[in-house]
Structure 1
Amino acid sequence: MRAVLVLALAALAPAAAAQSTLFDSHVHLWDGEKSLQAYEAQLKAQKLGPADFAGMWFGGPNQTLAGDTAAIRAGNDGILALAARHPRMTAVVTVHPYDGQAALDELARVVKQGARILKIHPHTQKFEADDPRVLVLVQRAGELGVIVLIDNANILPGDSEKMFNLALHAPGTKIIFAHMGGMNFRFWNTLKAARTAEGLLGDNIYFDVSAIVALVADSPVEQEFVWTMRNVGIDHILLGSDYPQFSLEQNADALNRLGLDEQELAKVRYQNANALLDNVD
């Protein structure tokens, strides 16, 4: 009997481990080490255990505008140094597209230091996503093997449409659209139709569902959101928290309430992020 019990527990262990494995693709560490310690303390308090995560330094109180090249360089150095001390963390750097060659030079510099994700934010950095300088930067990121994370909360008019066009013109760059269009998530169902057009669309569009999944779970539009997730492709969706505005627990719990099957949940919780990062090594 004891042998049977041991075997049963051994069989359950991998499933339990898989359920607790998380990758948080959207963490703001505005105060460096202090923010990271607070984030990890929150995970521990919420019994989520240690999680792998992508941490960025800018946003919120840390704004980066065109011309702030010294501040951008210092912030990038800080987040890269923080990641070097914390193996579970993937550093997210930034530049400003309107800084032209200076932005391209800074991107090349941080890539040499191990940067793998570049975050840009049209609203807080005050640029237009359809500006040619943005396309130049995004294309160069792809050439350097860098993933571009770009805010897509649909704060600005035409946000998602501009993002879609950007991805069309930079097929060699893996792009994560953060927040999956916000409450305009319905737009992204167009991908199901776009993929039927031969030669139109690369396989380069990904989404994180940070914050938005916590907003739509248990709402009147929940089933539309799940429908959209499946139309854009479960393989292309990442879990995120948007910490400190939202917790990982809020987002993970909301994801669990959407009615996805266990295979789909495992992909969104960790597997997709892991595969995406492996593909840009």
Structure 2
Amino acid sequence: MLRALALLPLLWAGTAVAATPVFDVHVHLHDGEKSLLAYEAEVEAAGIELAGLGAMWFGGPHQALQGELDEMRAGNDSVIALAAKHPEVVPIATVHPYDGQAALDELARVAAAGVAVLKIHAHTQRFDVSDPRVEALVRRAGELGMVVLTDNANILPGDSEKLFNLVARVPETKFILAHIGGLNFRFWNVLALVRTADGFAMDNLYFDISGPVLLAADSPIEAEFVWTLRNVGIDHVLLGSDYPQMWLDDTVDALEKLDLTDEEKAKIRAGNAHRLFGR
């Protein structure tokens, strides 16, 4: 009830939050369709036109751990079935890199079923990004035409640095780094220099801004955050909420506050995601 009342000023003011459709690339559906319907009801109540969402079943340290193949397959099947019923959903599957050939087999299975995004999470799945098995997995994902979404909240030592090297070693695979490095987003300004080197375009790298954008808007670091978005390339920035931990209306409102052009905001809200996912 309190949440609904908090949304009323947005609706009455005709805020720019609902100016253009929004594609949320980072949504956790812990209870399948029940979670999806709750999420979409909240989005509608906020006056946001939803262009699509990237939906994953995986979202906690008790899930998708090494060797839990049956649970992974069941979770992957659940998002595949959900997307078949709800065309706005881009299904996101997961495997564990340390499961070796079994992980590669499951990856091929979900790709054949139409899944175009793989989610892996070094912190909750407890793997090292620099492990050769991770590289083998993401390389195969790229061969299957899948995008790899992985956490980059910078809560593990060397998180951004290890991901930089992984992305550079596997240029054929497209990556989305969730949370754009957390409050270590400054690291990614290095791309402006890296791209001056021959053969180092790193145009396979995308970022979702879930989390840090909430802290950056109307803050002392806002100008630096905007500077970072432009240095990594506005065409490579995506909107994600990380629902239900964070809310889409708050994320869209924070984006609207940033000193970006309307064209830049439109790309981040949905245009870049449409292009990346071919929708």
TM-score when scaled to structure 1?
A: 0.91
Correspondence 1:138 to 2:138: yes
2:35 corresponds to which residue? Answer: 35
* CA–CA separation in structure 2 for the residues paired with 1:189 and 1:230: 9
Are 2:18 and 2:49, in contact at CA under 8 Å, matched by a contact in 1?
no
Are 2:189 and 2:232, in contact at CA under 8 Å, matched by a contact in 1?
yes
Flag structure 1 segments of 5+ consecutive residues without an equivalent.
1-15
Are 1:18 and 1:266, in contact at CA under 8 Å, matched by a contact in 2?
no
Shift in Å, 1:60: 3.0
Equivalent AA in structure 1 for residue 101 of structure 2: Q
Question: Runs of at least 4 residues of structure 1 off by over 4 A?
Answer: none
Deviations 1:212-262 (A, max 9, x none): 111211111111100000000000000011000111101100000011101
Structure 2 counterparts to residues 102-181 of structure 1, below 5 A: 102-181=102-181
* CA–CA separation in structure 2 for the residues paired with 1:88 and 1:183: 31
- SS of the equivalent of 2:115 reads coil
Shift in Å, 1:211: 1.6
Cα RMSD of the aligned pairs, angstroms, is: 1.5
Shift in Å, 1:61: 6.7
* CA–CA separation in structure 1 for the residues paired with 2:17 and 2:224: 30
Are 1:168 and 1:201, in contact at CA under 8 Å, matched by a contact in 2?
no
* CA–CA separation in structure 1 for the residues paired with 2:274 and 2:205: 16
- SS of the equivalent of 1:215 reads helix
* CA–CA separation in structure 2 for the residues paired with 1:61 and 1:30: 13
* CA–CA separation in structure 2 for the residues paired with 1:118 and 1:60: 16
1:275 corresponds to which residue? Answer: 275
Flag structure 2 segments of 5+ consecutive residues without an equivalent.
1-15
Shift in Å, 1:64: 1.2
2:246 corresponds to which residue? Answer: 246
What fraction of aligned residue pairs are identical, expressed as a percent? 61
* CA–CA separation in structure 2 for the residues paired with 1:17 and 1:227: 22
Structure 2 counterparts to residues 1-281 of structure 1, below 5 A: 19-60=19-60, 63-278=63-278
Q: Larger Rg: 1 or 2?
A: 1
What is the total number of aligned residue pairs between the two structures? 264
* CA–CA separation in structure 1 for the residues paired with 2:85 and 2:215: 34
